[in-house]
Amino acid sequence: MSQQLLSDLTSKHETHNTLALCFIANSGNAETGETLGNNVSKILMQQNARPYVIKKAALCLLHLFRKNADVVGPPANFVEKAKTLLQHTDAGVLTAVLSLIQGLAAAAAKEYEILIPLICKLLNKVVIQKAVTGDYLYDHIAAPWLVVKGFQLLQIFENIGQDKKAYKDLIEVLRGVIGTDSKKFVSVDAKTKQVRRRNAMLAVLFEGINVATRLFQDENFSKDKDNKDKQTDSKDPSKIVDSNSAKDNKDGQGGERTKEKDGRDIIQKSVNHFRYFLSFQDPDLR
């Protein structure tokens, strides 16, 4: 059996490749991983492979990893491959790759934290720029399951806001998701019953709120960020103000601007969403 699977994996016909990948993903065991894991990895990294082949290879490798963690090898080796895979332009491939990375990172989160900037950049590209093909517009929502996977992956990591560029990209994404009017999540056309659209929007929203909570629950991160801002301001004489005016700013509009600047206004918007949903009469939504 292994010899036949090896023959299919190394075949030049993609149909043979995909059939073998599907079989391994459903029936492969630890021994299969030892024998064929390298071949699956090679298919995953083939530059000329079609998207549907790469998707199957990613999910197949995830299955083998769950059976035998040695299939992937040291995390440091796969991180470089992951960086390449996250540059792919196909949303389906990216969704499968995020699933694979999520499975790997669950066992070694620290080693995969280096991918946070790429993940945040990808989410920004999808949510803000909507850079996906029409095939991945789900009821006019750009690749919702890719976004959900990305949010779930970020929740595995600690200190997801340490990189400035990644933090900026992520805050923009969270504002785009959580800043949506609550009424848009519950407005379902009476004739068409677009429940699918609502469910997709809510799935993205709830995972986005989870990421926001994860991002701001680290008090040390918030304190470090505040201290850095204070140190930056102290170096600029034009930003030095007396204590009374500083207090006024904090209590008034200045405080609101600061909150919006570092993104913590997102938490308040999340609370507002839940208040609205809990007051809604639809029991399914509540």
Domain count within the chain: 1
Q: What is the pLDDT of residue 216?
A: 84
Task: Please name which of 59, 117, 134 lies closest in space to residue 93, comparing C-alpha atoms.
Answer: 59
Exposed / middle / buried, residue 150 (Cβ in 10 Å: 0-12, 13-18, 19+): buried
- pTM > 0.85: yes or no: no
Say if 88 falls within a structural domain. no
pLDDT tens per residue, range 126-144: 999 998 888 888 877 899 9
- Residue 275 gets the label, from left (phi > 0), alpha (psi -120 to 50) or beta, of alpha
What are the structure tokens assigned to 116, written together? Answer: 């946070």
Has residue 58 been placed in a domain? Answer: no
For 270, the domain range is 116-235+250-286
Residue 120: inside a domain, yes or no? Answer: yes
pLDDT at 145: 94
Q: Where are the beta strands (DSSP E) in the chain?
A: 137-138, 141-142
For residue 214, what are the contacts with CB-CB under 8 A and spacing of at least 6? 154, 155, 160
Distances (CA, A) of 76 to 6, 57, 64, 117, 250: 27, 20, 18, 17, 45
Is 8 within a domain? no
Q: Which residues of the chain have pLDDT under 70?
A: 184-193, 218-263, 280-286
Q: For residue 82, give every residue at least 6 positions away whose Cβ sits within 8 Å of its Cβ, in sequence order, or none.
A: 97, 101, 112, 115
Task: For residue 175, tell me if it sits in a domain.
Answer: yes
Structural domain includes residue 32? no
Query: Which amino acid belongs to residue 221?
Result: F
Is residue 221 in some structural domain? yes
The pLDDT assigned to 247 comes to 46
Q: How many CB atoms lie within 10 A of CB 164?
A: 10
Indicate whether 276 belongs to any domain: yes
Query: At residue 251, what are phi and psi to the nearest 5 degrees?
Result: -80, -25
Dmax over Cα atoms in the chain, in whole Å? 79
Residue 269: per-residue pLDDT: 83
Q: In this structure, what CATH number is given to the domain that contains residue 212?
A: 1.25.10.10
Q: Is 85:93 a contact under the CB 8 Å cutoff?
A: yes
